[in-house]
Amino acid sequence: MYQYSKTISREIETDVLVVGAGSAGFGAAVAAARNGAKTLIIEKGSEMGGMATTGLVGPFMTCFDDDAKEQVVKGIFDELCLRMEEKGGAIHPSKVEGMTTYSSYYIKSHCHVTPFVSEVLAITMEEMLLESGAEILYQTNVIDVIAENRRIEKVVVAMKEGLATIKAKYVIDCTGDADIASEAGFEMTIGSEKDGVMQPTSLFFEVGNIDREAFVGELESKISRLGIPGANCWSWYIEEAKENGDWHLERNEIGNYEQPIKNRWKINATRIPYIDATKSKDITKALIEGRKQVQEVLSFMRKYVPGCENIELIQVASCLGVRETRRIAGEYSLTAEDILAQKHFEDAICTFAYAIDIHNSEGGGATFKQVNHYYNIPYRCLLPQKTKNLIVAGRSISGTSEAAASYRVIPCCIATGEAAGTAAAMALNENLTPAKIDAGKLQKQLIKQGAVIKDL
């Protein structure tokens, strides 16, 4: 054990501190600032977007109900989609059907996905954030949290110029891993309730120089000729590659998502199981393995997939794609049963409908349960138990591992972020703890901002 002490003279003060500039953090910071709070968002990386930019994760999964008829995630999320579309960097989800190149020929929960270009997303998020009046600090790493009696007093960060403390009246944890809540001593769970195992990680990558006519023509021919879902077309090639010793991955399909830019595709094919992404050693191991798997997938596509003979690697994600780590123990824990039963919540703050999508650690497949039309998420899921000034948004809100397999995706993260930011500004204006604000007033404000909350 080594004890170390240092006097930190640099201090930053703000009303609302948002930690993490991924999808949830983006929604939270924009909402808090637009509602009048002095807002600072800090990010350990160099751009907005998190998984969707540095992680290259895309497209946005469906923001429509499970019947693919009504868009149920709007507000800041929809504004983001429209603004990217104006730049030529996205296609609005209302214009994208299932069983297309944009959805990798999936149909369940893949009608009305949002194809986007990651670079355009980062720029658009940044523009919206700055227009809201919020401030951002990149290359700022949290190294400690000073908390007392379930109140975050200060967050200690490492900046380029040295250590600093940030004092905020309200803190929103959008780290994805509940880092702030964990460091502050709030209770939480990690991974599956049964054994603690987390869903496998992945490393997305982008490719170009595909002969689109040959590639798409072959896939669509197999779909039509064999009468199989689009995703299953890949198992046809993979089985042949396995027999020849050219495929060793624990995956039997390849997600290939065309982007709204000529001859550019996002590929989701790697799978690295049994990784605890709250540990640097595990993250390092997964990144190294992921990059090896990228090369194997590319070799496979060149050899076996028509139209991919001259495929070229454009880029590999610079951060690991993480589906699951910590989740807070909140004032309410959402369950899969709540989702499937479409349970009514008086304090609902957003509506969602993506399937319960659990990637298996072994065997290469996934457990995929569609929801009944849609479901709501209660505000209490964003509140660590007995919190004085901390709110959580994104995939680490309170819920079971199975429930999180649905709400972990980007449109929902932005929606919970918008709710968290709006709630923080409301608590600030009324000098209340987050749990004491009027849920009805919060709902009215969110709806005024364009959010959809069904069954009120």
In a domain, 248, yes or no: yes
In a domain, 255, yes or no: yes
In a domain, 350, yes or no: yes
Q: Give residue 361's pLDDT.
A: 86
Q: Give residue 363's pLDDT.
A: 74
- Count how many Cα atoms sit within 13 Å of the Cα of residue 422 in the half-sphere of its side chain: 26
In a domain, 406, yes or no: yes
In a domain, 374, yes or no: yes
* 144 and 17 inside one domain: yes
For 439: left if phi > 0, alpha if psi spans -120 to 50, otherwise beta; the answer is alpha
In a domain, 5, yes or no: no
* 303 and 424 inside one domain: no
* 80 and 183 inside one domain: yes
74-100 tens-digit pLDDT: 999 999 999 999 999 999 999 999 889
235-274 tens-digit pLDDT: 778 989 999 999 999 888 889 999 999 999 999 999 999 9
For residues 135 and 130, give the distance between their C-alpha atoms in angstroms, rounded to a whole number. Answer: 7
433-456 tens-digit pLDDT: 999 999 999 999 999 999 999 998
In a domain, 35, yes or no: yes
The pTM of this model reads: 0.97
* 17 and 124 inside one domain: yes
For residues 97 and 230, give the distance between their C-alpha atoms in angstroms, rounded to a whole number. Answer: 14
- What is the domain count for the chain? 2
In a domain, 453, yes or no: no
* 223 and 285 inside one domain: yes
391-428 tens-digit pLDDT: 999 999 999 999 999 999 999 999 999 999 999 999 99
| CATH number for position 53 | 3.50.50.60
For the record, the structure tokens of 109 come out as 């929960």
DSSP per residue, 331-377: SS-B-HHHHHTT---TTEEEEE---EEEE-SSSS-EEEE--SS-EEE
* 153 and 187 inside one domain: yes
Closest CA to 181 of 394, 29, 12, 351: 394
DSSP 61: P
Please, what sign has the CA dihedral across residues 359, 360, 363, 369? negative
* 428 and 347 inside one domain: yes
Residue that is last in its domain, among 286, 316, 346? 316
Name the H helices within 172-254.
179-183, 212-226, 233-243
* 185 and 211 inside one domain: no
For residues 454 and 349, give the distance between their C-alpha atoms in angstroms, rounded to a whole number. Answer: 9
Beta carbons of 373 and 85 less than 8 angstroms apart: no
For residues 125 and 89, give the distance between their C-alpha atoms in angstroms, rounded to a whole number. Answer: 12
Place of tokens 């909350």: 453
Q: Give residue 225's pLDDT.
A: 77
Structure confidence at residue 229 as a pLDDT band (50, 70, 90)? low
Structure confidence at residue 230 as a pLDDT band (50, 70, 90)? low
* 420 and 344 inside one domain: yes
For residues 437 and 426, give the distance between their C-alpha atoms in angstroms, rounded to a whole number. Answer: 7
* 214 and 141 inside one domain: no
For the chain, report the end-to-end CA distance as a whole number of angstroms. 54
Residue that is last in its domain, among 268, 283, 316? 316
Residue that is last in its domain, among 316, 351, 382? 316
For residues 450 and 26, give the distance between their C-alpha atoms in angstroms, rounded to a whole number. Answer: 16
382-393 tens-digit pLDDT: 999 999 999 999
Q: Give residue 4's pLDDT.
A: 87
pLDDT exceeding 90 applies to what percent of the chain? Answer: 89
Range of the domain at 292: 205-316
Beta carbons of 322 and 191 less than 8 angstroms apart: no
CA-CA distances (angstroms) from residue 448 to 43, 71, 335, 407, 416? Answer: 29, 16, 28, 23, 16
Place of tokens 């951002």: 136
* 184 and 210 inside one domain: no
* 179 and 210 inside one domain: no
